[in-house]
């Protein structure tokens, strides 16, 4: 199919992008890496959508250490996450997740802001944000606000973003001494969306386990987390995932298989962080 | 003339050597010319409104709004297009009882699968045509949907075509020997049920057609991505009411076909009919969703089978009950009964046994039509046979290799007629198995497997012997009344500069047919391979032929090319003998020059002979034949098919916690007779194995109970990808067919035929200590976990 005719405008800077977004009154979409958006336009799923191209907005790029936070600009490509020393050192869960995202060509273009705004429940980065308790930095005409990842992913492909807002960066707490992180997934083929995935952040103060591919959003497995913090065995914690996760049946696997795979992943991730 | 193939040092020894493909550089540099690359003056594009229902009555079609879209030129409903294109019924006389309903290019009053074309919107661009298509309003009255195979014939199941009387399109029962008695008295009987997942071919280049009708000449020229240009010429002529001689089908570069592009598709027929109706060139390129919902599917089979063995593991009888669903129509013109028919023909094929019963039941469904896809029926038959043989070995506690050794048809038993009445000229099952075991170090792998099991690592080794049907005679389609040529021809011409042009009726789809033809002609004539230009895929310029399918390109087209090349050589030497005042018998052509046969000494370059013949014919004796164009045709006649054989092995690891399979290595030893180009044959085998692995582990068209295809996209329909594919080791045994000088049989489908069975047997070998067993393809983590009792 061919994309329906759509308007296109390139934003010069962040205020320009925000102003274009405001003027579009919800009729436009932000074009970052375009790895999901362009495909949906070509399938005519997104209707006649105008595009606001933010690829020229310099202030959206870059990874920097700011105090106890790693600030990652919204336009940061997956490939940059995979090759960044700062990411590897301070948030290894993201460094482990990045190579698992789709294929090299997609990682070269796809951005962290795009992935979070799209909010595919089977995607790696939203789960990373949730496990790491990151803040999503969002800007609109009324200014900037910070949304905790736990509040950001509302439902299937639905976030807390208002129609005149865009993601400008994420702020991720850096790993503390003694902290171990693990991102693992089970995908049918290299680059596929996983049947189930886990981002485990094992902090001295407590464990956070976010799962992807097992519900309408990335899900924090609070029941299993509390059990682990109480000293429960991995098997005991894995048994509690039934109450934490909401997997669905689809063509790739029945819900029960996804739940089972999530349990395997929890045990394997714990084995990795506590080995 | 004969060729001493046993002597690798013979002159011009291209046959048997890896020769670079003449089209490889062009394609790699992006200089190919596919149908979508062709732009003609006044060309229009067509997009189709397709049915969202699996079964529904069409109540009304409103095109008013769509017609007002800028760029839209004309809209055709099914009723309107029926005036320009007659319907077809896909039956073959030799498949007794086969029935199907008339099928139109566009649905007229009823839709029977989701994706069926209903309205054609013709516009200046594809985008404008799609804009228009989005505004066409079709009102439907949904009808009950038939999706399940086993209940399709139940009295309570609605009829898809009431005029046919039932949903049964074909049934064949073959019985040889006292099957029931043998089973009743056998030492051991093993039963199993199998399913093969409905899947499709997924060509890189989607189906593509550009039809260009010139009313001033009454001439239809069709640029078509196809495997069978002459077949399409005949069909377009018949259904568009044109003389065959006024239809020219041109098939340029084709980006893969695998049997997908050897069928008649309603949307392609509609495109040609629209071009004729409008007197303008019209292009249709299927997009990926259209490909998934309208390219033929295949392999939708459910099978109950059993095997009887004696206490020594000797196979006594095999009994197969095969059911398959083919969608709402038998596909034109090859029909959708062939796949089930092949299952009947091929089960038990490698083995020497006496009592055989097989029945196939081919039913209608409201799903995408199925038809012949690479290795038609073979992977199903191999999975049934090799699955049963492994289960039988397990029942006796016998090694899977040993039971095969005891049952494979002996290498000196040929000619041999199987209990399915297939005639084998010469096969090499035992030699192939021996070579396979050596290549894979079978005993070493077994030792490794046992050692790893101690550590909780579950690896499996799966073996699968198979036969492959190649080089079909008219017994495949022609005797059934289809205008599909089993014969093929080649015209070879020498030009003044000594270069050679070869025009062949077989076609190139990316597999290297043209390289094969070039080297055969180069050797036959005696010129460097780089001096041979091959032309295929044009009904107006090439000899009449069947095209490329059923692994016939090298065996049939190659022999025609060889004979034409040898005939040209003889013509050249007749002239050369006169010019050199020598006897033709004493001359040869070596590396582009006439040479003394005894010494190999060059006497005259072909350029000189060309110069004389074409420009100074006056210097040659009057009446000397100077025919530097020769045509030869070839058709097999001793056997209906040239069967090949082979054996594959898969080594893999099952993660018993997750149900994931990791392929570690794959081996295939096969016997396609004379190997013309070792690298091309090996890559055919490898590509075939990958497609077989796709069916075994990944590919499945998922339908819901309403007949909706749920995974019509490349994210949800999993094709095998490079990262998951194992290293593949290919070996050969060569048993040339005596039907031709070349001795080549087909090699294009062997990989696909045996790979799913090998993978299935390997998974079950891995699971055996844990008690699980899988027989339903694809073997997903969910199915493996279910077999293990985990989920």
- Give me the interface pTM, i.e. the ipTM: 0.96
| Residue ranges of chain B whose pLDDT lies below 70 | 1
CB-based contact, B130 to chain A, within 8 Å: yes
3-state SS string over B645-673?
EEEEEEEEEEECCCCEEEEEEEEEEEECE
List of residues 6+ apart from B229 with CB closer than 8 A = B249, B250, B251, B507, B537, B538, B539, B542, B547
CB proximity B725 to A under 8 Å = no
Return residues 269-288 of B near A (CB < 8 Å): 287
Burial B636-675 (b: 16+ CB within 10 A, else e): beebbbbbbbbbbbbbbbbbbbbbbbebbebbbbbbbbbb
> A256 in contact with B at a CB cutoff of 8 Å?
yes
Which residues in chain B have Cβ-Cβ distances shorter than 8 Å to A43? 289
Q: Tell me which architecture the domain covering A181-273 has in CATH.
A: 2-Layer Sandwich (3.30)
Which residues, at least 6 apart from B569, have a Cβ–Cβ distance to it below 8 Å?
A: B1, B524, B525, B526, B589
Which among A5, A190, A251 is the nearest to B724, CB-wise? Answer: A190
Q: Token pair 């240009």 is at which residue?
A: B229
Q: Which of A189, A192, A254 sits opposite B782 (nearest CB)?
A: A254
- Of the candidates B387, B238, B404, the one whose C-alpha atom is nearest the C-alpha of residue B315 is B404
Which residue do the tokens 């001493």 mark?
B4
Contact call for residues A218 and A126 (beta carbons, < 8 A): yes
Closest residue in B to A192 (Cα–Cα): B715
Top CATH class of B24-32+487-634 equals: alpha beta
Q: Are A106 and A78 in contact (CB under 8 A)?
A: yes
State how far residue A251 is from chain B, nearest Cα, in angstroms. 7
**CB contact set of B656 (below 8 Å; sequence gap of 6+):** B458, B767, B770, B788
Closest-approach residue (CA) in chain B for A36? B715
Pick B785's closest partner by Cβ from A189, A192, A260. A260
Q: What are phi and psi of B511, to 5 degrees?
A: -90, -10
Query: Which residues in chain A are contacts of B721 at CB distance < 8 A?
Result: 189-191
Alpha-carbon gap: A99 to the closest alpha carbon of chain B (Å): 14
**Cβ separation of A264 and B658 shorter than 8 Å?**
yes
3-state secondary structure B34-95: CHHHCCCCCCEEEEEEECCCCCEEEEEEECHHHHCCCCEEEEEEHHHHCCCCCCECCCCCCC
Chain B interface includes A192 (CB < 8 A): yes
User: CATH code for B35-143+206-254+260-294?
Assistant: 3.90.1170.50
- CATH code of domain B297-474+638-787: 3.30.365.10
Q: Class for domain A61-173, per CATH?
A: alpha beta
Q: Within the 24-83 window of chain A, which residues sit less than 8 Å (CB to CB) from chain B?
A: 43-44
Q: Quick check: A189 and B718 CB within 8 A?
A: yes
Contact list, B134 vs chain A (CB under 8 Å): 44
Give the closest of B710, B723, B790 to A251, CB-based. Answer: B710
- The full set of domain ranges for chain A reads 8-51, 61-173, 181-273
> What residues of A are in contact with residue B284 (Cβ under 8 Å)?
none
Residue A215's φ and ψ, nearest 5 degrees, are 175, 180
Residue boundaries of the structural domains of chain B: 24-32+487-634, 35-143+206-254+260-294, 297-474+638-787
Mean pLDDT of A106-117: 98
**Hey, is A85 helix, strand or coil?**
helix
User: How far is residue B419 from each of residues A215, B183, B433, B568, measured CA to CA in Å?
Assistant: 54, 16, 22, 44
Distance between CA atoms of B517 and B504, rounded to whole angstroms?
Answer: 8
Which of B289, B699, B713, B721 to mutate: most A Cβ within 10 Å? Answer: B721
- pLDDT recorded at residue B1: 63
User: Would the CB atoms of A256 and B791 count as touching at under 8 Å?
Assistant: yes
Global pTM? Answer: 0.97
| Summary mean pLDDT of chain A | 96
* A182 SS3 class: strand
Q: Are domains B24-32+487-634 and B297-474+638-787 of this chain identical in fold?
A: yes
Compute the distance between CA of residue B262 and CA of residue B258 in angstroms, rounded to an integer.
9
Using an 8 Å Cβ cutoff, are B468 and B378 in contact?
yes
**DSSP reduced 3-state for A150:** helix
Tokens for B522? 């180069």
């Amino acid at each position: 199919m061919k994309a329906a005719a759509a308007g296109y405008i390139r934003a010069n800077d962040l205020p320009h992008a925000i102003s274009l977004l405001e003027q579009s009154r919800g009729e436009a979409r932000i074009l970052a890496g375009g790895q999901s958006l362009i495909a949906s336009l070509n399938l005519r799923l997104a209707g006649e959508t105008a595009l606001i191209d933010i690829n020229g907005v310099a202030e959206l790029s870059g990874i920097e250490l700011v105090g106890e936070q790693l600030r990652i600009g919204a336009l940061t490509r997956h490939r940059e996450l995979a090759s960044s020393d700062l990411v590897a050192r301070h948030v290894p869960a993201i460094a482990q997740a990045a190579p698992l995202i789709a294929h090299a060509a997609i990682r070269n273009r796809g951005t962290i802001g795009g992935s979070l705004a799209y909010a595919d429940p089977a995607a790696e980065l939203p789960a990373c944000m949730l496990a790491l308790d990151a803040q999503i930095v969002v800007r609109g005409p009324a200014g900037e606000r910070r949304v905790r990842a736990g509040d950001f992913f509302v439902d299937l492909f639905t976030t807390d973003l208002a129609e005149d807002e865009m993601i400008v960066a994420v702020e991720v707490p850096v790993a503390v001494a003694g902290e171990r992180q693990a991102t693992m997934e089970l995908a049918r083929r290299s680059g596929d969306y996983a049947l189930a995935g886990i981002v485990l952040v094992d902090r001295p103060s407590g464990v956070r386990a976010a799962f992807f591919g097992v519900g309408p959003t990335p899900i924090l497995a609070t029941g299993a987390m509390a059990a682990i913090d109480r000293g429960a065995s991995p098997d005991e914690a894995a048994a509690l995932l039934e109450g934490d996760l909401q997997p669905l049946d689809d063509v790739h696997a029945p819900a029960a298989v996804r739940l089972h795979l999530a349990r395997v992943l929890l045990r394997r991730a714990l084995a990795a962080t506590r080995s | 003339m004969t060729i001493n193939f046993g002597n690798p040092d013979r002159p011009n020894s291209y046959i048997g050597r890896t020769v670079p493909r003449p089209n490889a550089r062009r394609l790699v540099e992006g200089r190919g010319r596919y149908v979508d690359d062709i732009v003609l003056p006044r060309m229009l594009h067509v997009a189709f409104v397709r049915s969202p229902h699996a079964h529904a009555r069409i109540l009304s079609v409103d095109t008013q709004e769509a017609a007002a879209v800028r760029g839209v030129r004309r809209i055709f409903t099914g009723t309107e297009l029926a005036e320009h294109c007659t319907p077809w019924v896909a039956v073959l006389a030799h498949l007794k009882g086969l029935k199907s309903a008339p099928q139109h290019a566009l649905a007229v009053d009823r839709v029977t699968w989701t994706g069926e074309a209903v309205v054609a919107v013709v516009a200046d661009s594809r985008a404008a045509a799609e804009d228009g298509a989005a505004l066409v309003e079709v009102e439907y009255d949904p009808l009950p949907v038939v999706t399940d195979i086993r209940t399709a014939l139940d009295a309570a199941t609605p009829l898809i075509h009431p005029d046919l009387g039932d949903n049964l399109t074909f049934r064949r029962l073959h019985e040889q020997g006292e099957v029931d008695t043998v089973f009743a008295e056998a030492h051991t009987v093993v039963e199993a049920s199998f399913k093969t997942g409905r899947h499709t071919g997924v060509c890189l280049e989607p189906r593509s057609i550009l039809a260009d009708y010139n009313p001033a000449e009454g001439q239809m020229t069709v640029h078509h991505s196809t495997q069978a240009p002459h077949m399409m010429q005949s069909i377009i002529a018949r259904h568009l009411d044109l003389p065959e001689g006024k239809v020219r089908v041109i098939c340029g570069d084709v980006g893969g076909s695998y049997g997908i592009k050897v069928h008649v598709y309603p949307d392609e027929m509609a495109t040609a009919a629209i071009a004729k109706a409008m007197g303008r060139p019209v292009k249709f390129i299927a997009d990926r969703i259209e490909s998934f919902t309208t390219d033929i599917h295949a392999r939708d089979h459910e099978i109950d089978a059993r095997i009887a063995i004696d206490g020594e593991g000797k196979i006594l009888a095999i009994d197969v009950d095969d059911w398959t669903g083919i969608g709402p129509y038998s596909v034109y013109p090859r029909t959708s009964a062939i796949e089930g028919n092949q299952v009947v023909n091929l089960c038990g094929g490698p083995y020497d046994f006496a009592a055989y019963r097989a029945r196939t039941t081919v039913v209608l469904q409201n799903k995408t039509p199925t038809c012949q896809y690479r290795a038609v029926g073979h992977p199903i038959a191999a999975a049934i046979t090799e699955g049963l043989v492994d289960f039988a070995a397990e029942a006796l506690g016998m090694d899977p290799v040993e039971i095969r050794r005891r049952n494979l048809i002996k290498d000196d038993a040929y000619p041999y007629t199987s209990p399915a009445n297939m005639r084998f000229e010469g096969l090499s099952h035992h030699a192939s198995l021996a070579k396979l075991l050596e290549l894979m170090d079978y005993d070493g792998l077994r030792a490794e497997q046992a050692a790893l099991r101690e550590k909780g690592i579950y690896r499996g080794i799966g073996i699968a012997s198979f036969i492959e049907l190649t080089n079909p005679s008219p017994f495949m389609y022609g005797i059934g009344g289809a205008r599909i040529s089993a014969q093929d021809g080649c015209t070879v011409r020498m030009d003044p500069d000594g270069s050679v042009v070869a025009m062949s009726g077989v076609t190139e789809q990316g597999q290297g047919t043209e390289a094969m033809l070039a080297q055969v002609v180069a050797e036959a004539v005696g010129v460097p391979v780089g001096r041979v230009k091959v032309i295929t895929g044009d009904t107006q310029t090439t000899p009449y032929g069947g095209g490329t399918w059923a692994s016939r390109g090298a065996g049939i087209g190659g022999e025609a090319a060889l004979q034409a090349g040898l005939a040209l050589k003889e013509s050249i030497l007749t002239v050369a003998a006169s010019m050199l005042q020598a006897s033709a018998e004493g001359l040869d052509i070596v590396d582009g020059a006439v040479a003394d046969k005894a010494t190999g000494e060059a006497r005259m370059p072909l350029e000189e002979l060309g110069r004389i013949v074409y420009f100074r014919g006056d210097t040659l004796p009057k009446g000397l034949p100077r025919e530097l164009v020769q045509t030869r045709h070839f058709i097999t006649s001793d056997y209906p098919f040239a069967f090949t054989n082979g054996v594959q092995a898969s080594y893999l690891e099952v993660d018993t916690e997750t149900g994931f399979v990791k392929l570690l290595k794959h081996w295939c030893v096969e016997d396609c007779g004379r190997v013309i180009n070792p690298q091309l044959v090996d890559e055919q085998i490898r590509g075939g194995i990958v497609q077989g692995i796709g069916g075994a582990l990944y590919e499945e068209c998922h339908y819901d109970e309403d007949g909706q295809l749920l995974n019509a996209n490349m994210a949800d329909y999993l094709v095998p990808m490079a990262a998951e594919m194992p290293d593949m080791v290919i070996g050969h045994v060569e048993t040339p067919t005596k039907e031709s000088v070349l001795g080549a049989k087909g090699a294009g489908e062997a990989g696909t035929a045996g790979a799913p069975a090998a993978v299935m047997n390997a998974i079950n070998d891995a699971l055996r200590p844990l008690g699980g067993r899988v027989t339903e393809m694809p073997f997903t983590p969910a199915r493996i976990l279910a077999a293990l009792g985990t989920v």
